[in-house]
C-alpha cells in the first residue's frame, strides 16, 4: 500500500485553495475602459492622467517624494543606473542569486557586474561579502530585497556611506515592504519596482523608480522620456531612450494598487501561520525572523530543505513529491548568475570598453549562493493568499512526505 501521492496515494494538500493570478477585478475593468475610451493612450498626450495618478499614488504608498513609471522592471534599473551616473567600465556590486535583470541592466550600461554572496538565511546580500568585494573601481551597489524580505539596511548603509557608493534598491519583489517603519526603495538613491504579471502588483509588464532626491528625479524623468521633459515638445536635452509606461497600464495599476494593502495583510497573516508550523518540522529552515522588518511585500516565499532530515532524499525528488501532494513548489532560479553564459568574458567584453578588467565568472564559487542552490524550496506569493487556513495543507504535505520517505528511498 502506498501513502504518497507521487505513488498513487491521496493528495495531502487537496484542500489548498490558491486564488487565480493575476485578478481582473471590476475596478480594473472600469479604469482600463475609461482609459481606452478616452483615446489618450500615451502619457504625453494632453489630458492623459492615469500614469500621473499612479505615480502619485505609488509615491504616497511607498513614502517617496518622486516616482517615475516605466515600461518594465528591467529598464527601471537601467534608468536608475544612468541617473546615478554609471559610466562604461565602472564596477557595480550585485547579488549572485537574483533574477538576471538586476545584473544584466549593469552590463547593458557598459559597466561590469561584480557578483556578491548572499546570506542563505535571508537570501539577501551578505554585508561581509560586500565589504570584501569592494575595489577602487566600485561605484555602487544594486541590492535586492529578495522575495520582499528587506535587506539589512543597518549593515548596508554604513558601507555605502563609508565608500561613497550609490545604492539602488531592486525592490521588484517588495511592494509594501518596510524596514524600521520606512518603506523600502527610499533608503538608497533609487528604488526600482516591477509590475510583471507574476508580481504582487501586476500589470502584465511595467515598472517604476522612486527617489527622495529632487535632482536625481529630474534626471530620471529626462532619461525616461527620450531626453526631454514631459511637455517640452521636441526639445531634447540629452540622448536617451523611451521608457514610458502606457496609459492603459497606468489605469490597470491604479486598480491593482487599491487592493494591494489588504492582500499583503492576508499574505503576512498566512506567512505567520505557515512559518509557525514549518518551524516544527525537522529539516525545514525558514527565513530568519527580524523585528526590524515592520511590513512585508511579497513575490515568492522561500525556505530551505535539509535532505539529511528526510533520509537523504534529494531536494529535487522532494519537490516532485511535494508537487504531487498538491503544493505548487519549485527550486527557484536554476543557476547562480556567475554561471550564466550571458556573463561570460566574451559576452561582457562586447559591452565594456577595451582594456576593462572582466572577472572570470565561471570560476566563482560563493558558498551562500551554492547552499541555496542545493536546498531552496520556493512558493509563489499566491500560496500566501490561500483561503482561510488551507495554507496549513503545505506543512501537512511536508510531514506526510517525511513520515513516508521510505517509499521514495526504496525506489
Q: Which of 62, 228, 285, 381 is catalytic?
A: 228
Nearest-CA neighbor of 28 among 178, 202, 159? 202
CB 169 within 8 A of CB 212: no
173 is catalytic: yes
Cell 531592486 appears where? 170
CA angle 289, 77, 57 (to 5 degrees): 75
Q: Which of 234, 235, 291, 388 is catalytic?
A: 234
Q: Which of 43, 183, 224, 244 is catalytic?
A: 244
DSSP character at residue 84:
T
Helix (H, G, I), strand (E, B) or coil at 140: strand
The sign one gets for the Cα dihedral 177, 183, 184, 190 is positive
Q: Which of 196, 249, 256, 340 is catalytic?
A: 196
CA distance 266 to 264: 5
DSSP character at residue 344:
S
Phi-psi region of 326 (alpha: psi -120 to 50; beta: other; left: phi over 0): left
Bridge-based pairing of strands 138-144 and 166-170 is parallel
What is 218-264 written as a DSSP string? HHHHHHHBTTS-TT-TT---S---B-BPPHHHHHHHHHHHHHHHHHH
Q: Which of 66, 82, 145, 173 is catalytic?
A: 173
Q: What values do phi and psi take at 82, rounded to 5? A: -65, -45
Neighbours of 210 (CB within 10 A): 30
Q: Which of 97, 99, 166, 303 is catalytic?
A: 99
| C-alpha distances in Å from residue 245, one per residue of 61, 139, 230, 342 | 19, 29, 13, 27
CB 353 within 8 A of CB 88: yes
82 is catalytic: no
Helix or strand (DSSP H, E) at 329: strand 329-330
Strands (DSSP E) along 9-147, which ranges?
66-70, 91-95, 112-116, 118-119, 124-125, 138-144
Q: Which of 43, 62, 183, 199 is catalytic?
A: 199
170 is catalytic: yes
| C-alpha distances in Å from residue 57, one per residue of 17, 63, 64, 169, 201 | 31, 10, 10, 20, 13
Q: Which of 117, 119, 152, 170 is catalytic?
A: 170
DSSP character at residue 152:
-
- Quote the distance between the C-alpha of residue 33 and its chain's center: 30
Q: What b/e readout covers 368-390, taking b as 16+ CB neighbours within 10 angstroms?
A: bbbbbbebbbbbbbbbbbbeeeb
234 is catalytic: yes
Catalytic residues: 99, 170, 173, 196, 199, 228, 234, 244
Amino acid at each position: 500500500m502506498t501513502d504518497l501521492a507521487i505513488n498513487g496515494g491521496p493528495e495531502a494538500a487537496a484542500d489548498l485553495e490558491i486564488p487565480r493570478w493575476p485578478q481582473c477585478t471590476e475596478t480594473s475593468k472600469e479604469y482600463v475602459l475609461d482609459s481606452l475610451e478616452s483615446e489618450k493612450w500615451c502619457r504625453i498626450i494632453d489630458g492623459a492622467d492615469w500614469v500621473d495618478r499612479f505615480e502619485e499614488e505609488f509615491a504616497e504608498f511607498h513614502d517617496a517624494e518622486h516616482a517615475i513609471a516605466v515600461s518594465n522592471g528591467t529598464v527601471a534599473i537601467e534608468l536608475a543606473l544612468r541617473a546615478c551616473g554609471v559610466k562604461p567600465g565602472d564596477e557595480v556590486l550585485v547579488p549572485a542569486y537574483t533574477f538576471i535583470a538586476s545584473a544584466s541592466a549593469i552590463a547593458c550600461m557598459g559597466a561590469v557586474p561584480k557578483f556578491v554572496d548572499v546570506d542563505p538565511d535571508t537570501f539577501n546580500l551578505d554585508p561581509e561579502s560586500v565589504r570584501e568585494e569592494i575595489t577602487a573601481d566600485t561605484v555602487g551597489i544594486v541590492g535586492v530585497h529578495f522575495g520582499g524580505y528587506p535587506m539589512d539596511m543597518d549593515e548596508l548603509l554604513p558601507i555605502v556611506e563609508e565608500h561613497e557608493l550609490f545604492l539602488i534598491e531592486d525592490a521588484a519583489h517588495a511592494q509594501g515592504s518596510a524596514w524600521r517603519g520606512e518603506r523600502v526603495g527610499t533608503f538608497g538613491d533609487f528604488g526600482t519596482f516591477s509590475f510583471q504579471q507574476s508580481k504582487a502588483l501586476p500589470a502584465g509588464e511595467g515598472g517604476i523608480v522612486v527617489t527622495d532626491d529632487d535632482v536625481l528625479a529630474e534626471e530620471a524623468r529626462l532619461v525616461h522620456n527620450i531626453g526631454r521633459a514631459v511637455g517640452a515638445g521636441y526639445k531634447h536635452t540629452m540622448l536617451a531612450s523611451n521608457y514610458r509606461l502606457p496609459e492603459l497600464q497606468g489605469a490597470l495599476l491604479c486598480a491593482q494598487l487599491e487592493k494591494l494593502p489588504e492582500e499583503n495583510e492576508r499574505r503576512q497573516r498566512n506567512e505567520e501561520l505557515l512559518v509557525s508550523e514549518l518551524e516544527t518540522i525537522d529539516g525545514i529552515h525558514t527565513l530568519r525572523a527580524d523585528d526590524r522588518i515592520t511590513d512585508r511585500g511579497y513575490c515568492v516565499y522561500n525556505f530551505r530543505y535539509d535532505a539529511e532530515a528526510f533520509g537523504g532524499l534529494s531536494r529535487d525528488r522532494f519537490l516532485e513529491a511535494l508537487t504531487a501532494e498538491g503544493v505548487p513548489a519549485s527550486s527557484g532560479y536554476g543557476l547562480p548568475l556567475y554561471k550564466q553564459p550571458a556573463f561570460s568574458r566574451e559576452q561582457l567584453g562586447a559591452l565594456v570598453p577595451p582594456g576593462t578588467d572582466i572577472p572570470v565568472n565561471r570560476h566563482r564559487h560563493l558558498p551562500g549562493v551554492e547552499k541555496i542552490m542545493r536546498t531552496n524550496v520556493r512558493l509563489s506569493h499566491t500560496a500566501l493568499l490561500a483561503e482561510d487556513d488551507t495554507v496549513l495543507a503545505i506543512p501537512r504535505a511536508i510531514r506526510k512526505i517525511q513520515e513516508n520517505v521510505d517509499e521514495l528511498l526504496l525506489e
